[in-house]
Structures are given as C-alpha cells and as structure tokens.
Amino acid sequence: MNADDRSAAADPLVSVVCGDRMRTVPADPHTSVRHALDTGDLRVRAACGGLGTCGACLITVLEGEFNPPTLAERQKLLPEDLAQGRRLACQLYPRGPAKLYLEHPAPDSAWKSPDSACRVHAAGNPAMGDYPFGVAVDLGTSHIRLSLWQRQTGRRIGSRIGVNPQLAHGADVLTRLDAERLAAAESLILAGEARQAVIEGVRDILSRDLGEITPILQQVGKVLIVGNTAMLSLICGAGDDSLYDPANWQASIACVPDDLAAWRDNWRMPHADIEIVQPLAGFVGSDLLAALIAADITALPAPAMLADFGTNTEIALWDGGRIWATSVPGGPAFEGVGIRNGIGAEAGAIQRVELDEGFLRLQTIGAASARGFCGSGFIDAVALLLADGVIKPSGRFAAPQPATGLRLEPDNPRTAIFASDIDIFQRAKASTAAAMAQLAKFSGIDLASLNSFWICGSFGRHLQVSSAIRLGLLPDLSRGRFQMLADASLTGCERLLLAPDPGKFTTGIAQRIRVVNLGGVVEYENRFIDHLRLQPFGVTE
C-alpha cells in the first residue's frame, strides 16, 4: 500500500515560516527543502533545476540541524551570510525537526510539483535533433498534470500539477457540457483558458527548473495531450454541440484543433507538433488509453482490472484477448465534491480515519486541523460507522442525527457527516461497482479471479482498500493484488511522448479496446440498484 505517512505524529517536521504563513513538511534527510516545499503553495524562488547555480532560493535556518553548506552554497553565499544561518533551500537537507524562515517566497502560482515519483525512464533518442524538448499533458476535469522532457537525453526537466480553470464552470462534465452548449464564442474563451493554463504550467517549469523560457520554447518539438473527451473537445475550441449529439456517444469523436498555427504562435512554440491523443468514444477519453499504457495492461496476466477514479470513473477489464472499457458518472463524490464537508486532497483534509482503542483518530493532510473530508477519509469514516452499527447497510443512520450532522470531532463542524452525504456516496459507489460487475459479466470473467487490480487517480493514493472493500466499492480480493498507479494518465502520455514508435502502443492497446456504453443496459441498472446497499461486493450477485 502507498500509505501516506506525512501526517503520522511520530515523524519529525520542518516548519517554514513566511510572514504570517507557515507550512510544515516532513524532515526527510533525502529530500531537499526546496523539493519538499515545491509540492505546496509556499515555494522558494528558483531559476535552476536545484543545482545551486542560481542562488535564488535563499532561506534562513532558525532552529535544527542540517547538512553542512555545500560547495555551491560556499560559492554563492558570503561567509557572514552562512554564519547567520543563510542557506540555499535546494542544497539544504534536514537531519531532524527544524524551523526555517523564508523572507522572499516565489510569487503565488497555480502550479505545484506532484509528490509522486516519476515512473518513466527513457533511454533518450539522439535523433531528436534541433527540437529536443517535449511536453506531456494530462488534461483532467479538475486538474491539469504536465511534464517537460529533454527527449534527446531522456531527462525529465520537471513536472507540475495545477487546478484546471475549467473547474469554475461546473462541478461535473455534464454541467460543463451545458456550459459548452451556451455559445460558440464562449467555447473559444474556454479553449483559450485551458490553453493558457497549460502554457503557464510549462513556463513555471522552465523558469524554475531551467532558468530560461523563450529559447527553450523554440526548441519544443512535440506537445502531446491526453484527457477526457469533454476537456479535449474544449481545448480544441469545438464550438458545436458534438458532445450533445447522441450519434457521437459511442462513436469516436475527432478532437482536432482547426487553428494549430495560431495555437503554436500563442504558445511561442513555432516548431511544436501539438497533438491530441484521440478519445476512444464520446464518454471514454484518451486519458484511459494512457492509463492502460502506463499499466502496460496487455502484458499483465489476465484477467486484470483498472479503475481510474475521477470526476468520471473509467473502468477497464483485460481478459487476455480484449480490453472491455466503460465510464460511469458519480466520481465527484470520491474527490469530495457534493459531500457537505467534502474538500479536495489538500491541507487539512481528513484523509484517513482509524479506530484507536475505541476512539476515532482522524489523520489530516499536513497534520493540520480538520477542514473537511477528502474521498479516502470519508470512505474510512463510513466504513467504521457501518461496522459500528451507527450507519445501516441501507445507508441510513440507525438513529436520527441532529441538524448539525454526525460530528466525528464533537467541537469541529467540518467533521460532520450528513445523511445526504451517504446517499451521494452510495450512488457513486453503486455506479462504479455495478460497472465492474457488468464488465466481468460481459467478458465471462469472475471478479474473484482477477490477478491484479490497478487503482488510478489521486483518490487511490490515500485510499484504504479494506474500507473500500467493506463498503462494496472494490471487489474483495487479497490486498496484494491491488496496485496503486498515481498520475497514470500522465505516465502513459509520457511513454507515448518518448517512445521511438508510439504507434505500437496506441494500436496494440487501442485495437483491443471494446468500449461499452452502460446507459440503458437493463442488467446494469438492476446491478446499480443492488449495489446501492453498503455491503461487500458479491453478496448481491
């Protein structure tokens, strides 16, 4: 399991003070203070890849023990600065609990560095010639993930995650489609916003990890974009109702921008081949294709299942011959959307709830005071309350709750759970679990025989599989068969970007995919209703 122990009480922490802001990061002797801060909102200034050559990331040690100053620091800083505790954050590694003061932080930015490790190791391709840089983009409904590569050497310069500005237009894809339907003029504005967001992410990498922007943009030879169909359609500026037309739901939709020259011009990337990896169908995007490439699904022993939990949840089942794929709604609940006290996986989000000698113990991201539930914390809480008889399998509270909800911490209203929250969760879990069961039925496979189950999406990183199994969100497999794949779609996009023969991936996997639209499948609807009940998978089958 990818247990996230950032908030475990026993771990020493480094606190960084900046004016009236403060952030704590784990005191990890193998992670520089700069890299630790890069995953959050409070970042040091930077104009190099962390080699100590730009000297921008000045920070002052107030308390605690660190590594001795490096050669780079002795070249950049005066002896009296060093004597006063001035250091370069990129050269600074904590050896225990500590306190730092940051006088000049980087300007606020929508972009952070993801805290998951890069999974792609590229050999490099000397044939890349004059335009060796490449950008991989995963255009998600709530977040945009991207990375910049030197394709000639196979080096990843940097990667970022940022909130998709489209999120302001609606909580789920359908609402956004309504937004898209409004007017062609508006859809061009939406496309502009999405493109602007991507280029800002790229520029954030260039300015902080390379220290130069314009010359590098001119050397970008390729931009590869994966995403869900609605987002790809939006960034292409499709000003029509193509997604609304029932004829397009099962067929593939061509997401091809008709203004590539203007797009390149706008991004100052005159030599970039901007390519959209085409969605599989109106409701299954190329983000699923990328996730399947990241898992290398056809090389796995069959049967294997992959679920990418997000605003929509995509599910795929590899049966040894075909990949059955579908998409179901209801995912926002897994990201905290729709839950009264739901928040994203951000500081203060309850990410885990455990029973400790009869008491509920809440773990929050960043060990901050609880501000609400992210998906994994909510699922833990419901699973524990179900086991305790406080919530019944029907999803109702056993006893009426006050109007202020059931508070896990009596004094903290942000820890309250309401009946409507459980109802929303039941729908999301039922549509997901029923889809897993239905794909198994179509392919003639017993879910109990799955050799591996890949959980993608940021939701999966904090999820306690045992809680998900208890509620019937995941099939009851032995824990060792579950694999977490953070940033799966970006990883798959990177593989495509760097592969000498990307067609091998796309055709090898895409040709085996059979997209299934579960809308109107009566058998699936029956399963949905059965799976509304909170109980382990399979009991109702």
Partner 1 sequence: MLEAYIQAYNDAVFETDKQTALNVVNQALQNGFSAEDIVFKLVIPAVEQMMAFIERDPDANLAQHFMTAQIAADVTEKMLEKFSKPPEMVGRVVIGAAYGDLHSLGKRIVSGCLKSLMVDVVDLGCNVSAERFVDAAVAEQAQVIAISAMMVHTAIGENGSLKVRALLKERGLEDRIKLAVGGAPYRFDPELYLKVGADAWAADGVNAAKAIVELIREVKP
Interface positions with partner 1 (CB under 8 A): 181, 244, 246, 249, 392-397, 400, 419, 422-423, 426-427, 430, 519-520, 522, 525-526, 528-530, 532-533, 540
Minimum CB separation from partner 1 for residue 484, in Å?
29
Q: Which is nearer to partner 1, 93 or 397 (CB)?
A: 397
Give the nearest distance from C-beta 173 to partner 1 in angstroms.
12
Q: Alpha-carbon distance 533 to 395, whole Å? A: 7
Cβ 285 to partner 1 shortest distance, Å: 17
Judge if the upstream peptide bond of residue 303 is cis by omega within 30 degrees of 0.
yes
Alpha-carbon gap, residue 474 to 436, rounded angstroms = 9
Cβ 249 to partner 1 shortest distance, Å: 8
Residue number with CB closer to partner 1 (158 or 330): 330
Provide, rounded to whole angstroms, the least separation between the CB of residue 362 and partner 1.
25
Q: Which residue's CB is nearer to partner 1, number 442 or number 505?
A: 442
Question: Which residue type sits at 125?
Answer: N
User: Which residue number, 65 or 523, has a Cβ lying nearer to partner 1?
Assistant: 523
In terms of phi and psi (left: phi > 0; alpha: psi -120 to 50; beta: otherwise), the region of 18 is: beta
Distance from C-alpha of 418 to C-alpha of 532, rounded to nearest angstrom: 17
Q: Would you give the end-to-end CA distance of the chain in angstroms?
A: 28
Is-contact 88 52, C-beta < 8 A? yes
Find the DSSP H helices in 57-161. Answer: 71-76, 79-83
Distances (CA, A) of 7 to 3, 224, 364, 376, 462: 11, 36, 7, 15, 12
Whose Cβ is closer to partner 1: residue 88's or residue 532's?
Answer: 532
Which residue's CB is nearer to partner 1, number 400 or number 444? 400
Neighbours of 520 (CB within 10 A): 7
CA-closest candidate to residue 483, choices 438, 523, 453, 439: 453
Q: How far is the CB of 308 from partner 1 (least distance, A)?
A: 20
* Closest by Cα among 514, 453, 457, 451 to 491: 457
Token pair in block for residue 377: 């914390």
Report in angstroms how near the CB of residue 28 gets to partner 1 at its nearest: 44
Q: Which residue has the tokens 């609605």?
A: 230
**Shortest separation between residue 112's beta carbon and partner 1, angstroms:** 36
Nearer CB in complex with partner 1: 275/525? 525
Closer residue to partner 1 (CB): 75 or 526: 526
Determine the Cα–Cα distance for residues 504 and 49; give it in Å rounded to an integer: 33
Give dist(CA 46, CA 52) in Å, integer: 9
Residue type, 265: D
Q: Residue 258 is which amino acid?
A: D
Closest CB to partner 1 among residues 167, 177: 177
Shortest gap between Cβ of 176 and partner 1 (angstroms)?
14
Residue whose CB is less far from partner 1, 96 or 393: 393
Q: How far is the CB of 440 from partner 1 (least distance, A)?
A: 21
- Parallel/antiparallel/unpaired status of strands 220-227 and 273-276: parallel
Tokens 């800002």 belong to which residue? 200
